[in-house]
Amino acid sequence: MSDGFWEGAHRISVPLVDDSALRRLKAGRRVLLSGVVYTARDAAHKRMVEALEQGDELPIDLAGQVIYYAGPCPPAPGQVIGSLGPTTSGRMDAYAPRLCAAGLRGMIGKGQRSTAVVQAIARYGAVYFVTIGGAGALLSQAVRKAQVVAYADLGPEAVHRLEIVDFPALVGIDPLGRDMYDR
Amino acid sequence: MKYLRADQIEALVRDLCVKAATELPGDVAVALLAASRRESSPLGCEVLGAILRNAELARKNRMPLCQDTGLTYVFLEVGQDLHIDGDIREAVTKGVSRGYTEGYLRKSVVRDPLFCRENTGDNTPPVIHTDVVPGSDLVVTVLPKGTGSENMSAVKMLTPSAGIAGVEDFVLQTVRHGAPNACPPLVVGVGVGGMMDTAALLAKKALLRPVGHSNPDSEIALMERRLLAVINNLGVGPGGFGGSTTALAVHIETYPTHIGALPVAVNLQCHAARRATGILRGSDGP
């Protein structure tokens, strides 16, 4: 990301293992995320929750992890990944509380969440980040490495492990359940 | 009688799919730039700046503006004096398949909506709308439509007593509810008239109109300006993070309707308001 962009942002390491850093996040605050996140959207969420309900192991250990609601374009030759912006988070509302219970600590997406998700976030001290929808070419610049780690048959909906540096976002819902969309 | 070959159509559709996904139309970029000068929220300004930078990067790196390269709408205006050698639907479908595969666009279509939801792997089939028009040209417009904005769209079967106020209320209600999720600033396509399907198609076609062009009917144009002003007072702002730019334009299209009907459809379009048009002129010999 270029100079001066997302000024005043708080730098956060992911996965989210530092509870004290998490508690300082307030809804509306700008952040730059660096570390490892996993992509998952509709179909991958359905599979993960079905696996949990059947008592099966998940393909990734969710403890402390952050899921980015996104499905990338394929990389052209020479690219790490194709365009990769957030998808609408609300479609994952049916699954998110179950994943928070399984250890998921953070979500990145766009748009509003249901009351049940806000309550799950507050209960488990998790956090929901929002980023800029429709800016997939720009956001893909923050991805340094990408690899499919689960559900490869789902194509763009497969779970990708991403290494990100200074990925810009806002705190949408903080660990106390305060929601930046409540205006 | 003039002639076109199916493979010419396939090649054009292929190119238009890639162009639409990677090049923000100039009128949309101009509207975003103008909005960034008017935007009241500093964060909103920064988001508009990021959206414009995203468009530059996409064009420079030939990368899709948005990862959701959509379900592909293809609008065909077929000159009635044309003879097309080959299957036009097959040519369009092959063009979409090649565009999405060779252009590294995301394949986002599932074969069956209800049961297996298996990805078709090449973004086919497209949705094709065909009009027969005078002349011997084929005009092809590709509109890739993502679900972020589409899922926030709505149709309502109003009845005549609801009147203009009822139509405006429904547009505002749809935008107020959907805008934060639909990647604002939006282009709001509104279709009024015909029956349910007519209104929905008019609302989609309203998205093909360049941003900054009003409906030629002055009363409708006034309604567009009035709705735009109210929408930009909702406070949703760029990215949904607050501000005075919630929509770039409201485009209303109408069609005659039944004495007992007032259907209205609202098709929201995100700021990556992508479309690309090309023309094939018929040649004298097959």
The confidence score (pLDDT) of residue A18 equals 85
Q: Cβ separation of A141 and B57 shorter than 8 Å?
A: yes
When pLDDT is averaged across residues B130-136 and rounded to a whole number, the result is 98
Angle in degrees, CA B72, B78, B81, rounded to 5: 165
3-class DSSP state of B249? strand
pLDDT (average), residues B72-95:
97
Question: B159: how many CB neighbours lie within 10 A of its CB?
Answer: 11
What domains appear along chain A, each with residue ranges and CATH number?
A: 10-173 (3.20.130.10)
Interface contact flag, A88 B57, Cβ < 8 Å? no
Q: Read off the pLDDT of residues A133-174 as tens digits, 9 standing for 90 and up.
A: 999 999 999 999 999 999 999 999 999 999 999 999 999 999
Per the CB < 8 Å rule, is A112 touching B181?
yes
3-state secondary structure B82-146: EEEECCHHHHHHHHHHHHHHHCCCCCCCECCCCCCCCECCCCCCCEEEEEEECCCEEEEEEEEEC
What structural domains does chain B harbor?
2-23+65-146+274-281 (3.30.360), 148-269 (no CATH)
* B104 close to A (CB below 8 A): yes
A122 contacts chain B (CB < 8 A): no
Q: How many CB pairs under 8 A join A and B?
A: 133
Please give the C-alpha separations between residue A47 and each of A42, A69, A150, B68, in angstroms, as whole numbers: 9, 15, 11, 21
Q: By CA distance, what is B65's nearest residue in A?
A: A137
Task: Check CB contact of B57 with chain A, cutoff 8 Å.
Answer: yes
Query: Does the beta carbon of A79 lie under 8 angstroms from any beta carbon of chain B?
Result: yes
List all residues of chain A from 19 to 38 with a beta carbon under 8 Å from chain B. Answer: none
Closest residue of A to B108, CA-based?
A156
Q: Closest Cα to residue B268, out of B160, B176, B194?
A: B176
The pair of three-digit structure tokens given for residue B18, joined into one six-digit string: 């890639």
Contact A155/B62, CB-based, under 8 Å?
A: no
B104 vs A157: CB contact, 8 Å cut-off? no
- Cα maximum dimension of chain B: 60
Mark yes or no for CB contact B63/A137 under 8 Å: yes
Q: Is A88 on the interface with B (CB under 8 A)?
A: yes
Q: Is the pLDDT of residue B225 over 60?
A: yes
Nearest chain A Cα distance for residue B160, angstroms: 34
Which tens digit of pLDDT belongs to each residue from A65-112? 999 999 999 999 999 999 999 999 999 999 999 999 999 999 999 999
A4 versus B227: which is more confidently predicted? B227
Quick check: B106 and B27 in contact, CB under 8 A? no
Q: What integer pLDDT is reported at residue A168 of this predicted model?
A: 97
At A8 the pLDDT is 87
Whole-number Å distance between alpha carbons of B219 and A50: 54
Residue A3 above 70 pLDDT?
no
Identify the residue whose tokens are 């209320």.
Answer: B169
DSSP element (H, E) containing B52 = helix B42-61
Nearest chain A Cα distance for residue B146, angstroms: 10
Phi-psi region of A81 (alpha: psi -120 to 50; beta: other; left: phi over 0): beta
Cβ A76–B104 below 8 Å, yes or no?
yes
Question: What average pLDDT does range B128-141 have in this prediction?
Answer: 98
- pTM of the complete model: 0.96
Residues B201-240: b if buried by 16+ CB within 10 A, e if exposed: bbbbbbbbbebeebbeeeebeebbeebbebbbebebbbbb
Q: What pLDDT, on the 0 to 100 scale, is given for residue A21?
A: 83
Mean pLDDT value across chain B = 97
Residues of B in contact with A138 (CB under 8 A): 50, 53-54, 57
Contact residues on chain B for A140, CB-CB shorter than 8 A: 63
What average pLDDT does this structure show over B64-92? 98
pLDDT band at residue B71 under the 50/70/90 scheme: very high
**What is the spatial order of strands in the sheet that B137-145 belongs to?**
B127-133, B71-79, B137-145, B276-281
Q: Give contacts of B106 with chain A, Cβ < 8 Å.
A: 71-74, 82-83, 156
Burial status of residue B266 (CB atoms within 10 A of its CB: 0-12, 13-18, 19 or more): buried
Q: Are strands B276-281 and B137-145 parallel, antiparallel or unpaired?
A: antiparallel
Q: What ipTM did this prediction achieve?
A: 0.94
Quote the pLDDT of residue A183: 53
On whether the CB atoms of residues B41 and B244 are closer than 8 A, the answer is yes
Contact in structure between B57 and A138 (CB atoms under 8 Å):
yes
Q: What is the pLDDT of residues B11-67, one digit of tens each?
A: 999 999 999 999 999 999 999 999 999 999 999 999 999 999 999 999 999 999 999
Mind listing the pLDDT tens digit for each residue in A4-37?
688 889 999 999 988 888 888 999 999 999 999 9
Q: Which of A4-18, A141-155, B115-129, B149-163 has the lowest mean pLDDT?
A: A4-18
CA-nearest of A130, A67, A164 to B242 is A130
Q: Does A183 touch chain B (CB under 8 A)?
A: yes
Q: What is the pLDDT of residue B274?
A: 98
Of B275, B279, B277, the C-alpha closest to B20 is B275
Counting residues of chain B whose pLDDT is more than 90, the rounded percentage is: 99
A85/A89 Cα distance (integer angstroms): 12
